[in-house]
Amino acid sequence: MNILLLVGGSHHDSPEIRTALQAIFESDGAHTVSQSEDMAVLSPDGLAGIDVVVNATTDREPESSEHYALINHVAGGAGLVVVHGGLASFWNSQAYFGMIGSKFAGKSLDERGSGDFVVEFGPNRHTLQHPITLGLENYTVNDELFFLQGDQTQWQVLARAQGHPVMYSKTFGLGRVFVSALGHDETRFLVPNTTEVMRRGALWAAGRL
């Protein structure tokens, strides 16, 4: 499985975060993960053969041709995983937010928006049987708690924190999209349940789970 990890931006980017994400997506051993902070990779040629795109950027503004190349790639059957800052990126593309189903609309907890909270899987039996979260137990994290704005009728909510959706899946055209609002820095990707959800999310987005 070929994974393209998009990185870079004003926040939520560091060599440590990139290394942590790379390790998660390479953990199955059969995946090729390439990183790019150059949005020019978002072209029909650059995306050829890519099974899953992971958007871990923040505050990036790709050219119109670039974000539409990504949108067309997912609509055509590729997978997309949106990580934390990816909910606050591509601000110049409403079509991107239409594809992923939501955008960053603020954060809770302390003045920095960070704190401890419980990630609760569910909220119903059908969701608990989703392959991304199957068998996982609720857990406590210290992270930023994002508020998401979007059409929730498009989402299959997989997890909430303090009543707010923090993980969901959806479809877009022939493609699959998995969104996780967690992941403020590299330490958040060392939490076993978060790591497992990200790993499964990429597999599900690729249609392999």
Kindly give the confidence (pLDDT) of every residue in the chain, 209 residues in length, as a single tens digit, with 9 standing for 90 and above. 999 999 998 776 778 889 999 999 998 877 899 999 999 999 999 999 999 999 999 999 999 999 999 999 999 999 999 999 899 999 999 999 999 999 988 776 655 567 788 999 976 666 678 999 999 999 999 888 888 999 999 999 999 999 999 999 999 999 999 999 998 778 788 899 999 999 999 999 999 99
Cβ distance 65 to 17 under 8 Å? Answer: no
* Separation of alpha carbons 162 and 182, rounded Å: 14
| 21 secondary structure, DSSP code | H
Residues 3, 31 contacting (CB under 8 angstroms): yes
Query: Coil, helix or strand for 78?
Result: coil
Closest among 162, 158, 108, 113 to 133, alpha carbons compared: 158
Is the previous residue joined to 44 through a cis bond, with omega within 30 degrees of 0? no
Token pair listed for 129:
């049987």
Distance CA 209, CA 205 (A): 8
Rounded Cα–Cα distance for residues 202 and 21 (Å): 11
- Cα separation, 160 vs 122, whole angstroms: 8
Cα gap 111→122, rounded to integer Å: 28
Select from 3.60.10.10, 3.30.450.20, 3.30.1340.10, 3.40.50.880 the CATH code of 2-205: 3.40.50.880
Sheet holding 175-180, edge to edge: 32-36, 2-6, 52-55, 79-83, 175-180, 164-172, 156-161, 114-121, 139-144
Q: Taking CA 1 as the corner, what is the angle to CA 141 and CA 14, rounded to the nearest 5 degrees?
A: 45
